[in-house]
Amino acid sequence: MPSAKVVIIGSGFSGLGLGHKLKEQGIEDFVILERSGDVGGVWNLNTYPGCNCDVPSHLYSFSFAPNPDWTSTYSPQPEIRAYLQDCVDRFGLRDHLRTGVEVTGATWNDAEQRWDIDTSEGRWSAQVMVSAVGPLTEPKLPDVPGIESFTGKIMHSARWDNDYDLTGKRVASIGTGASAIQYVPRIADQVGELLVFQRSAPWIMPHDKRPITDEERARFRRHPSAQRRERTKVYFSKEILVLGFVKRPKLMRLVEGLSRKHMERQVVDPELRKVLTPDFTIGCKRIVPSNEWYPALQKPNVTLVPKALAEIKAKSVVDTDGTEREVDTIIFGTGFHVSDIPFADKVHGRDGRSLAEVWQGSPRAYLGAAVPGFPNYFMFLGPNTGLGHSSMIYMIEAQIEHVTRALRVLDRQGAATIEVDRATHDSYNRMVDRKMATTVWELGGCTTFYQDVTGRNATLWPDWTFSFRRRAKRWKAGAYVLARARVPASATR
């Protein structure tokens, strides 16, 4: 059976970033297992028209691998994918990578004090297992009756079929989240007719996207410190929003004013404006920047259906009013399984229960990374690490610092296992819940994918991001329990 000191599952920002830092730490005995044919995670898988990051690229990239060549302040998906592909060689990860290998299950082997990891290509054994499978990996389709009876084309935004020609088609687009807001304006002119189903109107902010000039790129290449300054500027311009999201939700009214003005400038018809005005406080759901969304909805071939999708028939879609419309194609911009963390079914800890069984639909972890009963296991972007305002790469880097520190502690102490202390885990989660109680996500009057089956916000981090990083970096004495290798029974005899 192949074995490694560390098995990393997933090759997005998290998996590649961790691989790089393991190498810097002198750990070469690790593999990265990736079920897709290539690296890049969401930036490899989301190929829909208009797919872009919505956090500026100077911040939405590794701090330790700046890219002076971004062509736009918010890069398009192919550029981010190319950046991550380039990181594989930049970090020397090629020999550690196994693409096309899916992890189907993992069980803690207490006798061996190692993880048995089942994959589509056989079993691996690892001292430490790290899941970097991403919080936005498994596309979610709504539970609409009749979906299987549809005879036309169905696509999810995260599994776009670029060979399918939308020209002249009658298309229903379901959902008004971040992905739909990016692809709807791009396909509106190509399709024959576009129905945009809106269950809940989103708050939209003006987009400040612009091309990065040749001179700027040359300057960043010559003076990396100029790009670092740019990154810091972007970081603080985003971080200031925590004041409104978390500390003083009433401040969100200022942001709401900007969003309302944006709508007033772009939507003339007061009736349409009414339909497009959200019924919750801005920030309660993800705020999306776009200068193209409102104009797209007002094109002559585009109809906004301010209703949920109630039923799908062989050739049509039916809204909650019972109105039936014929379509050729349905595109689901309906997001991902987030707070239910699908990978949790696959990981079985010391007592044989899976993470999903332990969590019972309400995930909790220490620093979004470690769970009692799951020794030598760390996850990336686990519970309460999500952000509504800034770059997830910042959170990933904080977790990389935490996981690499844990591995250093494990090795220096000559221990076989490291496991988060239950009291530490519990008090950390009480702190998260306390901080969450006064946030706009709790008080803003919306229900979102941030919430788990109990209604707890299991997705977002309710504080400054630098406070998360400080906690992740600081090694709290007693936060983890270390155990030495057991003496094999044969040796004691």
Ligand X SMILES: Cc1cc2nc3c(=O)[nH]c(=O)nc-3n(C[C@H](O)[C@H](O)[C@H](O)COP(=O)(O)OP(=O)(O)OC[C@H]3O[C@@H](n4cnc5c(N)ncnc54)[C@H](O)[C@@H]3O)c2cc1C
> Which stretches of the chain bind ligand X, using CB under 6 A?
9-15, 33-36, 41-42, 46, 51, 53-55, 60, 102-103, 132-137, 179, 380-381, 391-392
Alpha-carbon distance 376 to 409, whole Å?
A: 12
DSSP 8-class letter at 138: S
Nearer to ligand X, 227 or 391 (CB): 391
Residue 4 Cβ vs ligand X, minimum distance, rounded to whole Å: 15
Residue with the two structure tokens 């590794």 = 62
Q: Which residues contact 392 (CB under 8 A, 6 or more apart)?
A: 13, 55, 60, 381, 385, 386
Nearer to ligand X, 63 or 438 (CB): 63
Identify whether the C-beta of residue 315 lies closer than 8 Å to the C-beta of residue 326: yes
Nearer to ligand X, 10 or 373 (CB): 10
Nearer to ligand X, 140 or 170 (CB): 140
**For the chain, first and last CA: distance in Å?**
27
Amino acid letter, 59 = L
Alpha-carbon distance 118 to 127, whole Å?
A: 14
Nearer to ligand X, 60 or 428 (CB): 60
Q: Which residues contact 359 (CB under 8 A, 6 or more apart)?
A: 341, 344
Nearer to ligand X, 366 or 461 (CB): 461
Nearer to ligand X, 120 or 323 (CB): 120
Residue 138 Cβ vs ligand X, minimum distance, rounded to whole Å: 8
Nearer to ligand X, 13 or 377 (CB): 13
Residue 131 Cβ vs ligand X, minimum distance, rounded to whole Å: 8
**Exposed (0-12), middle (13-18) or buried (19+): which is 481, by Cβ within 10 Å?**
middle
Residue 318 Cβ vs ligand X, minimum distance, rounded to whole Å: 28
Residue 368 Cβ vs ligand X, minimum distance, rounded to whole Å: 11
Count Cα neighbours of 444 within 13 Å in the Cβ-side half-sphere.
30
Nearer to ligand X, 316 or 391 (CB): 391
Q: Which residues contact 21 (CB under 8 A, 6 or more apart)?
A: 400, 401, 404
Nearer to ligand X, 42 or 410 (CB): 42
Residue 473 Cβ vs ligand X, minimum distance, rounded to whole Å: 19
Residue 79 Cβ vs ligand X, minimum distance, rounded to whole Å: 13
DSSP 8-class letter at 250: G
Residue 157 Cβ vs ligand X, minimum distance, rounded to whole Å: 7
Residue 474 Cβ vs ligand X, minimum distance, rounded to whole Å: 23
Alpha-carbon distance 402 to 416, whole Å?
A: 18
Alpha-carbon distance 181 to 189, whole Å?
A: 15
Q: Give the DSSP per-residue string, 78-134.
A: HHHHHHHHHHHHHTT-GGGEEET--EEEEEEETTTTEEEEEETTEEEEEEEEEE---
Cα–Cα separations (whole angstroms), residue 12 to 16, 99, 455: 6, 12, 29
